[in-house]
Chain A
Amino acid sequence: MEAAVGYVSGDADSLLMATELRLGLPGTDDQKPKTTFSPPATPRGKKRTADAFEDSAAAEEAHKEADDVEAAPPVAKAQVVGWPPVRSYRKSCFQAAAATKSKANKKAEDATSSNKTTPSAAAPAATSANGGSFVKVSMDGAPYLRKIDMRMYKGYRELREALEAMFVCFSGADTAASNPSEYAITYEDKDGDLMLVGDVPFDMFSGTCKKLRIIKRSEATGLGSK
């Protein structure tokens, strides 16, 4: 094919470049350190990757940052949307299972018995594995909580809209229209810490979020940059 011939003759130089033996990624001049994966000094999780991301506006933007991160010696591991190629369905199933396992392991270490998980560990673990994607949502001042299925939402905006719709009846009986910016959405992660929603890619957040809490903004100062 003419087009194919045109390619070969025109880009022979770049082809040669590609065969050149070198250490490091194509396109970088740095020497990459020996190990492909370096066991992280601190446990990997959303907190570390939150450091790696200045803004998590779009996952694609974050992924472009990942290119830069990987060229340098790997310190913070950047998360890329849809990689590794694990089906969203599978992700939601075993995220819960992994949480169960680590909870069960912790309990097993605490207790003196060698192999069985105690019933009290099994029960909350079972609930989280059972409806792995359902999380409780509480709102300050609301008389009861709600539950949502995290898998229903593909991004922060959808989640916010759903929560606003759910809790509109509770936000201020005296204001005609509720003011969403009065409230901040926070969540409890698997370590039990209260985090501001929105810092990390949505996929990561939905996997580690155990509980949602809608709190008044005045209480949220000190939690996030916004």
Chain B
Amino acid sequence: MGRAGGPAAPPWHSLPDEVWEHAFSFLPADADRGAAACACHGWLRAERRSRRRLVVPNCYATDPRDAVDRFPSVRAAEVKGKPHFADFGLLPPSWGAYAAPWVAAAADGWPLLEELSFKRMFVTDECLEMIASSFRNFQVLRLNSCEGFTTAGLAAITEGCRNLKELDLQENYIDDCSSHWLSNFPECYTSLEALNFSCLHGEVNFTVLERLVSRCRNLKTLKLNNAIPLDNVASLLRKAPQIIELGTGKFSADYHPDLFAKVEAAFAGCTSLRRLSGTWDAVPDYLPAFYCVCEGLTSLNLSYATVQGPELIKFISRCKNLLQLWVMDLIEDHGLSVVASSCSKLQELRVFPSDPFGHNGGQVFLTERGLVDVSASCPKLESVLYFCSRMTNEALVMIAKNRPNFTCFRLALLEPRSPDYITRQPLDAGFSAIVESCKGLRRLSMSGLLTDLVFKSIGAHADRLEMLSLAFAGDSDLGLNDILSGCKSLKKLEIRDCPFGDKALLANAAKLETMRSLWMNSCSLTVGGCRLLALKMPHLTVEIINDPGETCPVESLPFDSPVEKLYVYRTLAGPRSDTPDCVQIV
């Protein structure tokens, strides 16, 4: 390469950009690419021009047009909107997170865009129409926990995106306009690889669906909605035996030996099936129809299946290669101990409550025993979400000792502030053991009776912790201070109903700028404290959120007025302009 200058090799900085772009393509993590871009102008230029995949975890952290300008070659973009606690109804519906500005900016600056994902955002039919008409090689659309659109918007997508490979609709609220979105796929269209319409409530034209499935030989993922009866599910499987991931939709019918035989035969043909979900209202009678695929399953989501008893356990115990299991607490401790001994490769376990609000008598199915057993016998277990009604420090300590490899530990005790049910002590010791033992812990959700003590442990030990969720915990600002002054890697903090006030926030204001976001509701914050925080940290947006209908301007409120909901996040874009009346940016 060295030409005009003699035999010496050219200095690094004069290597052409293409070399750096090629080098950067080997960096798997966006964070690494970001770090490389900070090294010098040359690397910044090379990196940003060659970035193909962009993730924007907070849609308000930057103006969409700036993001598109900075990374002009993006082919796949993922944008997330509302804070996590929106899932539990804590955010007013009109809060924001509109996808429209992102779709408009993308349509302008990324004509070659192939993939778009939105999570917890407000997506309209107009957005979907724009997507369908703006990107000639659009292939993948993923909408997760979004709302604001109807099946008419879907119809625009299926009609307009000739190269569509994946349409993934997960847990969205979609208005059914009885539009024939499924029929809009042209007859010559065969490139579908993944289709998930499990969250749609309306009927779909089964003949159309069957023809679509028949002609798309590369279809690997199919997740049906619960309007499709079992008989039809079996027919579809016969047309698509190559399927890898299946969401069955409704899986119940009166037992009939012919239907059972048909279902069993259909599953027997699916030798590639690895992931199974759906199974709403699964009836025990039909579970044996799955037996032939059990051995091959790596992921099983029975979290909507209200089936319990020996059939359930027999079924799961045959799934010896499970990596991921989502199930209802109807499995009971006994069922989990069978899981522990059968599923030795298990990596992720989620147990959901069948009766979280006590509407069906508050029957208890699951205790701490189940989790202790699984943690003892599954050496690869690293991610847990566990809803149960009681816990002890001893159990948590045992779990921590058994599984120092946890990366995600989320425990939700159904009753707020539940103490150790045997000793009546706070669960400080138990959770401290978890953070001290699990050095790689990235996500933690705590519940039960907790004092400021546990926060000392967390602040001191949880060096890799990125996301922390607290509820009904702590005694004073000391607790919050320990978190914010420790936890070196903290990115997201969400808190509800804890006695934390302004002091800890103000004392650690700089920390908030190193984090992605902070959510607090029903704590002891004041308007004055929030205003001070906003003044101190100009790169943070400080949002005070009231209930819809309460729009008393913040300026007129006294200093010590309580703040019910606070959302703070760092942003390059300054305060957003699309707030509803109930949100005020101080």
> With A and B bound together, what is the CA distance between A145 and B255 in angstroms?
34
Residues of chain B contacted by A15 (CB below 8 angstroms): 452, 478
Residues of chain A contacted by B425 (CB below 8 angstroms): 21
Residues of chain B contacted by A17 (CB below 8 angstroms): 475
Q: Are A154 and B478 in contact (CB under 8 A)?
A: no
Shortest beta-carbon distance from B228 to chain A in Å: 11
Chain B interface SS verdict (over half): loop
Interface pick from A90-98, A136-144, A173-181, A217-225: A90-98
Who on chain B is nearest to A151 by CB?
B173
Interface residues of A in 1-32 (CB under 8 A from B): 1, 3-4, 6-7, 11, 14-15, 17-19, 21, 23-27, 32
A3-B508, A26-B451, A87-B87 as given contacts; A44 in contact with B280, CB under 8 Å: no
Let me know if B549 is at the binding interface, CB within 8 A. yes
Let me know if B69 is at the binding interface, CB within 8 A. no
> With A and B bound together, what is the CA distance between A17 and B547 in angstroms?
36
The proximity string for B residues 401-430 relative to A, scoring 1 for CB distances below 8 Å and 0 otherwise, is: 000000000001011111101001110000
The proximity string for A residues 48-68 relative to B, scoring 1 for CB distances below 8 Å and 0 otherwise, is: 000000000010100100100
Residues of chain B contacted by A35 (CB below 8 angstroms): 421
Q: Are A129 and B364 in contact (CB under 8 A)?
A: no
A14-B476, A130-B201 as given contacts; A37 in contact with B390, CB under 8 Å: yes
Q: Are A40 and B304 in contact (CB under 8 A)?
A: no
Residues of chain A contacted by B358 (CB below 8 angstroms): 40, 44, 77
Interface residues of B in 105-125 (CB under 8 A from A): none
Let me know if B21 is at the binding interface, CB within 8 A. no
Who on chain B is nearest to A153 by CB?
B93
- The residue from B173, B360, B364, B508 contacting A98, defined by CB atoms under 8 A apart: B360
The proximity string for A residues 35-47 relative to B, scoring 1 for CB distances below 8 Å and 0 otherwise, is: 1110110011100
Residues of chain A contacted by B485 (CB below 8 angstroms): 1, 3-4
A85-B412, A129-B226 as given contacts; A90 in contact with B89, CB under 8 Å: no
> With A and B bound together, what is the CA distance between A77 and B415 in angstroms?
9
Residues of chain B contacted by A81 (CB below 8 angstroms): 88-90
Shortest beta-carbon distance from A202 to chain B in Å: 9
> With A and B bound together, what is the CA distance between A84 and B354 in angstroms?
12
Let me know if A165 is at the binding interface, CB within 8 A. no
Residues of chain A contacted by B355 (CB below 8 angstroms): 98
Let me know if B466 is at the binding interface, CB within 8 A. no
The proximity string for A residues 85-129 relative to B, scoring 1 for CB distances below 8 Å and 0 otherwise, is: 111111101110110111000000000000111010010001001
A4-B485, A122-B254 as given contacts; A44 in contact with B361, CB under 8 Å: yes
The proximity string for B residues 285-301 relative to A, scoring 1 for CB distances below 8 Å and 0 otherwise, is: 10000000000000000
Q: Are A97 and B306 in contact (CB under 8 A)?
A: yes
Count residues on chain A whose CB falls below 8 Å from chain B CBs: 74
Residues of chain A contacted by B171 (CB below 8 angstroms): 87, 89
- The residue from A4, A26, A154 contacting B475, defined by CB atoms under 8 A apart: A26
Residues of chain B contacted by A63 (CB below 8 angstroms): 497, 522
Residues of chain B contacted by A91 (CB below 8 angstroms): 356
Q: Are B475 and A18 in contact (CB under 8 A)?
A: yes
Let me know if A131 is at the binding interface, CB within 8 A. yes
Let me know if B227 is at the binding interface, CB within 8 A. yes
Q: Are B361 and A43 in contact (CB under 8 A)?
A: yes
The 5 closest A-B pairs by CB, nearest first: A82-B88, A3-B507, A44-B358, A87-B87, A18-B451
A-side residues, CB < 8 A to B, are 1, 3-4, 6-7, 11, 14-15, 17-19, 21, 23-27, 32, 35-37, 39-40, 43-45, 58, 60, 63, 66, 70, 77, 79-91, 93-95, 97-98, 100-102, 115-117, 119, 122, 126, 129-131, 133-134, 149, 151-152, 154-155, 157, 203-204, 207-208
With A86-B352, A115-B285, A149-B175 known, 12 other A-B pairs at CB within 8 A are A17-B475, A18-B452, A26-B426, A43-B360, A70-B417, A81-B90, A82-B89, A87-B171, A89-B145, A98-B359, A126-B252, A157-B548
Can you list 18 residue pairs at the A/B interface with Cβ under 8 Å?
A: A1-B485, A7-B504, A15-B452, A19-B453, A63-B497, A63-B522, A81-B89, A84-B414, A93-B304, A98-B354, A98-B359, A98-B360, A116-B255, A116-B285, A119-B254, A129-B280, A152-B173, A154-B92
B-side residues, CB < 8 A to A, are 85, 87-90, 92-93, 145, 171, 173, 175, 199, 201, 226-227, 250, 252, 254-255, 280-281, 285, 303-304, 306, 328, 352-362, 364, 387, 389-390, 412, 414-419, 421, 424-426, 445, 449, 451-453, 469, 471-472, 475-478, 481, 485, 496-497, 504, 507-508, 522, 547-549, 564
